[in-house]
Structure 1
Amino acid sequence: MALTAPLPRVAPDEAHAHWYERVLGWAVTGGPPAQLVTGTCFDVLEMPADAGAELLRRPLVTGPVALMGRRMRFLVAAGSADELDGLLDWLEWGGVALDLTALGAGGRMTAPAPPGTAGESPRGAAVWLRPPEQGCDVLLPALPGPGQGARPDLVRLVGAAATECHRARLRRPYGSGVPLRGALDQPQRSQRFS
């Protein structure tokens, strides 16, 4: 009678890391939980979850989107993070507190469980809202050209994200650390009529 040893069990986090590396070709580091390295295959446009949810309701085509707690992360083409501040200035959002940030070269993002994995994620764990697909490049900055299909450009995505971040900030209750009315809280000047 031959003895057989069971196959070694692979920790779920380790299996997830292998999936990202083998199937998608993305760099993974650290763990647990595994961290996806930004700036090589993709950058991340990050915003509050309430603003991100509104952005997802817009008729925009986006790449993969992840949710972690109260933050939503939109994956965009590598190098896009370097463009965020300039785009916000150009779109006339510069100087407005939007809570819209980007992760680029040298950044890390918690890796959500790969799509289709069994089991439930712990509360607050990163999850995919729009998962990545094998062979799916995250190429968002290019305008759609002949034969390229529907791909949003980074300008439209950042403009829509800035608008939704601003709207979400205005919807939050006063006293939550973010002024509700902003400039309207300034003292009113009295006008004298002769």
Structure 2
Amino acid sequence: MVGSAPPAHTVPPPRRPPDPSGQVRRWYEDGLGWATVPGSPLRLAVGLRFDVLDVPEEAGRAALRHLRQDSPVALQDGRMRFLVAADSARELPGLLSWLEWGSLALDLTAVGEGGVIDAPLPPAGPARRDPAPGAPRSGTAGPEPLQGAAVWLRPPEPGCEVEASLPTLSALGGGGSAPDLVRLVETVATHCHRIRLRRASAQPLAFS
């Protein structure tokens, strides 16, 4: 009688290390209630809880005084991204026209419904506010962000009502604590124009 073969021993697959992107995704979705977009790198859906005003970092730093300290601001590739109230992107063209900037090509854009932005790493602890340009930024979770990655200059705070800190048109002439979107746009538009003039004056003259 031929005996049955002994059961084959299977080697369990090696455990994968925890996926840091999953932790970051949970920080945004569970801690802040912000929608993320599937895929890598991790991106945030814009237009649901906030819109984004994208300007050169130089122009953005001049406008930080118009914001509350808890109003989220991110940096990436020399650009500053202000989180502003939802629907602000639709208001921007009319606002620039009202401020008499509508006829000029300014290096500022607004991202609204249907848009996405790269998700900066969450802060690991108390983040250092408003570091000098080019200085290393502390307070991010895990290793230093890769070159060109988005980082928080002023991170959002889980458990807080982020919308209350976002610049909005409704703050104009009102008694609320939300920052005024008009002052923010006026300041960044003015500095974008100055940057544009400075770059134009630095161009060599063309001779025919």
What TM bracket, shorter-length normalisation? 0.7 to 0.9
What is the aligned length? 170
Partner of 2:113: 105
Residue 82 of structure 1: CA displacement? Answer: 0.4
2:55 paired residue among 47, 50, 54: 47
In structure 2, what residue type is equivalent to 1:114?
A: P
- Give the RMSD, CA atoms, in angstroms: 2.5
Q: Which protein has the larger Cα radius of gyration, Structure 1 or Structure 2?
A: 2
Contact 1:55–1:164, Cα closer than 8 Å, also in 2: no
Question: Partner letter of residue 160 of structure 1?
Answer: T
TM-score by length of 2: 0.74
Contact 1:13/1:31 (CA < 8 Å) preserved in 2?
A: no
The alignment status of 1:154 with 2:178, answered yes or no, reads: no
Query: TM-score by structure 1 length?
Result: 0.79
Contact 1:39-1:107 at 8 Å conserved across structures: yes
| Matching residue within 138, 143, 154 for 1:130 | 154
Q: Deviations over 1:21-52 (max 9, x none)?
A: 00000000033211100000000000112211
Aligned ranges 1:22-171 → 2 under 5 Å: 22-56=30-64, 59-62=65-68, 63-116=71-124, 117-134=141-158, 135-138=160-163, 139-141=166-168, 142-143=170-171, 145-146=174-175, 148-149=176-177, 151-171=178-198
2:203 to 175, 179, 186: 175
- Mean Cα displacement is larger for which, 75-84 or 129-138? 129-138
Matched letter for residue 64 of structure 1: P
Q: Distance in 2 between matches of 1:39 and 1:28?
A: 12
List gaps (5 residues or longer) in structure 1. 1-5, 180-184, 186-194
Percent identity of equivalent pairs = 51
